[in-house]
Amino acid sequence: MSATAPTLHLICGKIASGKSTLARQLAEGETTILIAEDDWLSALFADQMNSPADYVRCAGKLRSILGPHVIDLLKSGVSVVLGFPANTVETRQWMRGLIEASGAAHQMHLITTPDETCLARLRARNARGDHPFAVTEAQFHIFSKHHAPPTAEESFTLVIHDRPG
């Protein structure tokens, strides 16, 4: 086991901003695992995910299932890359609870990719068909309206990733 303290890595960024790519890179660390929301949602709820409201409902169920597991992993000395979008205050409050319950260190990775770049990546990803979910441009805009980067008052250890394109 690594001599470094376990860390919970959190990622905030819009759809197709590079969250999954960054998550995979972060998970390359020693004693670090990736828990990717899209993989779990696809495996458990793909047939129930037809609207943004469905996503909110299913993601909430997934958080309630995986939260205790993430805490146990961190307490056992394993770092976790939580591949869940930390894009809303509500989601970050849940993540803050994981940090407090586990006593782990954390890093909040903020990806600042411009919308035009995200949309170009989204179109390419949808054309390739290699992502569990094909998100429309309209859905991108709906979810982007709810995107709220973390504030200083939330007291996260922030790591900014500027991704101009």
Scanning 27-88, the segments in alpha helix (DSSP H) are: 37-45, 52-75
Structure tokens at 52: 């943004």
Sheet of 7-12: strands edge to edge?
A: 32-36, 79-85, 7-12, 105-111, 158-161
The whole-angstrom separation of Cα 11 and Cα 113 is: 13
Give mean pLDDT, residues 138-142. Answer: 91
Per-residue model confidence as pLDDT tens digits over 7-61: 999 999 999 999 999 999 999 988 999 999 989 998 999 899 888 889 889 999 9
The whole-angstrom separation of Cα 47 and Cα 152 is: 38
Give mean pLDDT, residues 141-163. Answer: 93
Per-residue model confidence as pLDDT tens digits over 83-112: 999 999 999 999 999 999 999 999 999 999
Residue 1, pLDDT > 50, answer: no
Nearest to 22, CA basis, from 30, 31, 10:
10
Alpha carbon 93 to chain centroid distance? 13
Domain 7-161, CATH class in plain words: alpha beta
The whole-angstrom separation of Cα 20 and Cα 7 is: 18
Bridge partners (DSSP) of residue 8 are: 80, 106
- Domain ranges (residues) in the chain: 7-161
Banded pLDDT at 165 (limits 50, 70, 90): low
- The answer to whether 1 touches 74, Cβ cutoff 8 Å, is no
